[in-house]
Structure 1
Amino acid sequence: MSPAPEAGSPGVRSAHRDLQITAWALAAGTGDREAAERFVHATYDDVRRFVAHLSADVPGADDLAQETYLRALTSLAKFAGRSCARTWLLSIARCVVIDRYRGAAARPRLADSTDWQSAAERAQPRHLPGFDESVAVFDALGALDPARRQAFVLTQVVGLSYAEAADAAGCPVGTVRSRVARARRDLTAVWLADRDPGLLPVRAASR
């Protein structure tokens, strides 16, 4: 039997944070405005980071996040706490991004991977360490199949477990694991190709 996690371990702290966020969401659903403010403050960075990576639209991330909270806050009274509130919120964020894609389907895409990289360059001071690496990651993520990018961002960027990511994405845990593995392979291929243009990434069919 594996030992129980220590009280100060990252896993315990994350679980405690999720319990607190869920408690605030439940209280906000009863009309507690302070709890609603705490809920938004505690989750905003996760939501913004998620929609930015999932949509490949850094400049529009705040608008997508605001739309997410508009939907979430009007639905909090129906939230029963059967799942973590953060997972529930990210599933709403996913729907917001999907709706944005559907709305833009009939017109040219406003933010391709090149535009996304340019936006990231404008948003981050060049003298900060890791700037080039950050832009490279943004660009590589923007080139991923959307389903793989979503699974990778949920688990590797936002920090959800595979089970939580499956709830947020509305698919089986095994599918999330497969998409993350494929995303890692695709990212590796992109980075290798960037170093040696003769090594072109091979994109398999999405799952």
Structure 2
Amino acid sequence: MGVDDQELTRCALAAKQGDTNAATRFVRGTQRQVWQLLRHLADPGVAEDLTQECYLRAFRSLSSYRGRSSARTWLMSIARRVAADHIRQRDRRPRPADLADWQLAAERAQPRSTTMSDGYALRSALEALDPRRREAFVLTQVVGLSYEETAEVAGCRIGTVRSRVARARTDLVEQLSEYDTDHNASRGG
């Protein structure tokens, strides 16, 4: 995880008092995790923009941060709301389906190396997960939050997080084994 939660919380509280060096340390200590979460919860193509939006919101609301929970957990809650807002906004916009379908078909038709193809399969499997399961899985397995921190970010109980992660793993194993079967059949294997 890099910087520990106590140090990040100290940085956030110091940034709240106007310490720009602390603000920089806070961003550097959390930026990769915020980006990873947003990449998996929203659109990978806009993860950078959403990460910036997350920090804009965080710094705007820093005055109300009291340090009762870790700054990392507080920031991940903001990132989660940024992703949800983006998805709501995206779903409201009319989408030129023909263009999107054409682009998807073109991407799928491109020859891929096994590694690239496997990465594509994993990404597709993650995207196919129920959003709550994907969120719990990404927060615990990709971002590296504890089950307790994930429960706080998601606004649910630890047992619910454990259940969602376990079901996400089961779903991923099923989807990836289907991919392996299909992939090997298409290669003549």
What amino acid is aligned across from residue 77 of structure 2 in structure 1? S
Q: Secondary structure at the match of 2:53?
A: helix
Question: Under a length normalisation based on structure 2, what TM-score does the superposition of the two structures give?
Answer: 0.83
Partner of 1:184 in structure 2? 169
Partner of 2:143 in structure 1? 158
User: How far has the Cα of 1:16 moved from its partner?
Assistant: 6.5
Partner of 1:146 in structure 2? 131
User: How far has the Cα of 1:78 moved from its partner?
Assistant: 1.4
Distance (Å, rounded) in 2 between the aligned partners of 1:134 and 1:42: 26
Q: Deviations over 1:169-198 (max 9, x none)?
A: 11111111111011001001101111224x
Partner of 2:179 in structure 1? 194
What amino acid is aligned across from residue 176 of structure 2 in structure 1? W
Higher helix share: 2
What amino acid is aligned across from residue 49 of structure 1 in structure 2? Q
Distance (Å, rounded) in 2 between the aligned partners of 1:65 and 1:15: 18
Q: Secondary structure at the match of 2:45?
A: coil
User: How far has the Cα of 1:132 moved from its partner?
Assistant: 3.8
Partner of 1:48 in structure 2? 35
User: How far has the Cα of 1:135 moved from its partner?
Assistant: 2.7
Unaligned runs of 5+ residues in structure 1 are: 1-13, 198-207
What amino acid is aligned across from residue 23 of structure 1 in structure 2? R
- CA RMSD in angstroms comes to 2.4
Distance (Å, rounded) in 2 between the aligned partners of 1:138 and 1:154: 15
Partner of 2:86 in structure 1? 100
Q: Determine what percentage of the aligned residue pairs are the same residue.
A: 51
Aligned: 1:133 with 2:121: no
User: How far has the Cα of 1:134 moved from its partner?
Assistant: 2.8
- Aligned residue among 70, 82, 93 for 2:68: 82
Range 75-84 or range 42-51, more displaced: 75-84
Partner of 1:37 in structure 2? 24
User: How far has the Cα of 1:31 moved from its partner?
Assistant: 0.8
User: How far has the Cα of 1:94 moved from its partner?
Assistant: 0.3
Distance (Å, rounded) in 1 between the aligned partners of 2:144 and 2:12: 19
Q: How many residues align?
A: 173
Distance (Å, rounded) in 2 between the aligned partners of 1:130 and 1:162: 30
Tell me if structure 1 keeps the 8 A contact 2:2–2:29.
Answer: no
Range 94-103 or range 135-144, more displaced: 135-144
Tell me if structure 1 keeps the 8 A contact 2:132–2:164.
Answer: yes
- Label 1:15 to 1:58 Cα distance change in 2 as closer, same or farther (>3 A): closer
User: How far has the Cα of 1:17 moved from its partner?
Assistant: 1.2
What amino acid is aligned across from residue 88 of structure 1 in structure 2? W
